[in-house]
């Protein structure tokens, strides 16, 4: 049986990437740092998924095993020597943490003269696989040339709705039918191959990355920021069902879409359909509950110049398009509070000590007294 090593045994790992790998005929070997997750996978070497769009019908994912990145590093290195594909879903900020172990796996492949393995970071990040590869090069365990001799590094765009759930006494992961796994085909050793069934293989990954992050992740985060700052909500679905907020959330996503139309030539209708199917309909599915504390966490990252809100706002500015609702999302993000969220706490402390104007410049990259700066400040001052 073909082997795939996947780092990250959380909900996205088990409920999205590993499911597609399993359905593509791979045995899936998980690497993780959480003993509880490792034990959960190894209990029966299978786990349950519940299909949200099919009355929570159960689907079994078998032929799985999990090892600790810390305690079982040697076993994971051996498995990477035999694998045809290595994937991650560890959060982009953790890619440098898994880079040394993955590079050790490649070192053993290199020493044994093995062929090239496919490595893909399946993260909510722009060019996440490039981030991982650069972190691997920085380990100096192998040179860039040695790494390139034993691996290829396609970037991906990923999206799926996953939640924990218990049905008929069985604990598992709830998943929606709709998902997106877009793979940069030009970086595969054989561009005509399709190593993962159900994925979309494209030449220009950036347009799909920005479509996903600048519409879906943008709308999701803004729904959380609007909901907390303007209505005191704790659940994203409350924002999406609010007749006052939903039109504004849609407007923010449509502003982003208008810039993507100009930049990449997407049709307006295709982006509206994508927005409604992948964002609004999915996240208002009955039974789906998404805490704003999770969806809108790490606000500093999410309002940085190229991320999900300021990225499309800057695109709109470049093309002379309206971006007020996107910038209102930034203003609400500047109000975001969440106990235990280090970025939220840093942001509020900075505003308290230095003022919101300094915070806008520091965290969004907007120039003082620019149109973007002035709109963010105006919208921030409207929030009670």
Nearest to 201 by CA among 223, 220, 185: 185
| Spans of the chain below 70 pLDDT | none
Beta strand 117-121 pairing with 151-152 = parallel
- What pLDDT is attached to residue 287? 74
pLDDT at position 288: 79
CA distance 274 to 291: 23
pLDDT given for residue 376 in this prediction: 98
Task: Specify the pLDDT at position 282.
Answer: 77
Neighbours of 152 (CB within 10 A): 17
* Residue 132 DSSP SS3: helix
Q: What is the set of domains in the chain, with CATH numbers?
A: 2-201 (3.40.50.720), 206-382 (1.10.1040.10)
State how far the Cα of 288 lies from the Cα of 63, in Å rounded to an integer. Answer: 29
Q: Which two tokens stand for residue 330?
A: 């930034």
- What are the backbone angles phi and psi of residue 23, rounded to the nearest 5°? -70, -15
- pLDDT for res 126: 86
Question: What is the structure's pLDDT at 137?
Answer: 98
Q: What's the predicted TM-score (pTM) here?
A: 0.83
Buried b (16+ CB within 10 A) or exposed e, 63-82: ebebbbbeeebeebbebbbe
Yes or no: say if 158 and 16 are a contact pair by the CB < 8 Å rule. yes
Q: Please give the Cα distance from 205 to 13 (Å, whole number).
A: 21
What whole-number distance in Å separates Cα of residue 49 and Cα of residue 40? Answer: 14
């Amino acid at each position: 049986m073909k082997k795939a090593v996947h780092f990250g045994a959380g909900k996205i790992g088990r409920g999205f990437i590993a499911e597609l790998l399993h359905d593509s005929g791979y045995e899936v070997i998980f690497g993780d740092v959480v003993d509880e997750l490792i034990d959960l996978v190894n209990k029966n070497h299978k786990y349950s998924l519940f299909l949200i769009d099919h009355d929570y019908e159960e689907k079994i994912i078998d032929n799985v095993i999990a090892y600790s990145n810390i305690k079982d590093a040697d076993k994971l290195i051996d498995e990477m020597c035999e694998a045809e594909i290595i994937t991650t879903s560890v959060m982009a900020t953790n890619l440098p943490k898994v880079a040394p172990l993955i590079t050790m796996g490649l070192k053993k492949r290199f020493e044994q003269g093995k062929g090239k393995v496919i490595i893909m970071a399946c993260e909510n990040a722009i060019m996440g696989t490039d981030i991982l590869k650069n972190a691997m090069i920085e380990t100096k365990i192998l040179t860039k040339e040695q790494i390139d001799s034993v691996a290829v590094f396609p970037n991906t765009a990923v999206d799926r709705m996953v939640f924990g759930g218990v049905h008929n006494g069985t604990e598992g992961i709830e998943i929606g039918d709709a998902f997106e796994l877009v793979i940069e085909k030009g970086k595969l050793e054989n561009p005509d191959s399709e190593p993962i069934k159900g994925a979309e293989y494209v030449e220009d990954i950036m347009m799909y990355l920005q479509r996903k992050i600048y519409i879906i992740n943008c709308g999701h985060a803004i729904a959380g920021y609007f909901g907390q700052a303007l209505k005191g909500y704790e659940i994203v679905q409350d924002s999406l069902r609010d007749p006052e907020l939903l039109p504004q959330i849609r407007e923010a996503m449509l502003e982003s879409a208008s810039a993507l139309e100009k930049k990449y030539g997407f049709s307006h209708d295709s982006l509206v359909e994508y927005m409604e199917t992948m964002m609004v309909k999915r996240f208002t599915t009955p039974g789906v509950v998404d805490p704003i504390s999770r969806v809108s966490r790490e606000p500093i990252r999410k309002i940085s110049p190229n991320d999900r809100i300021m990225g499309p706002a800057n695109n709109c500015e470049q093309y002379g398009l309206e971006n007020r609702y996107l910038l209102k999302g930034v203003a609400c993000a500047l109000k975001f509070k969440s106990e235990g969220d280090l970025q939220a706490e840093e942001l509020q402390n900075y505003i308290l000590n230095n003022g919101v104007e300094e915070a806008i410049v520091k965290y969004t990259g907007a120039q003082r007294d620019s149109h973007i700066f002035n709109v963010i400040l105006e919208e921030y001052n409207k929030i009670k």
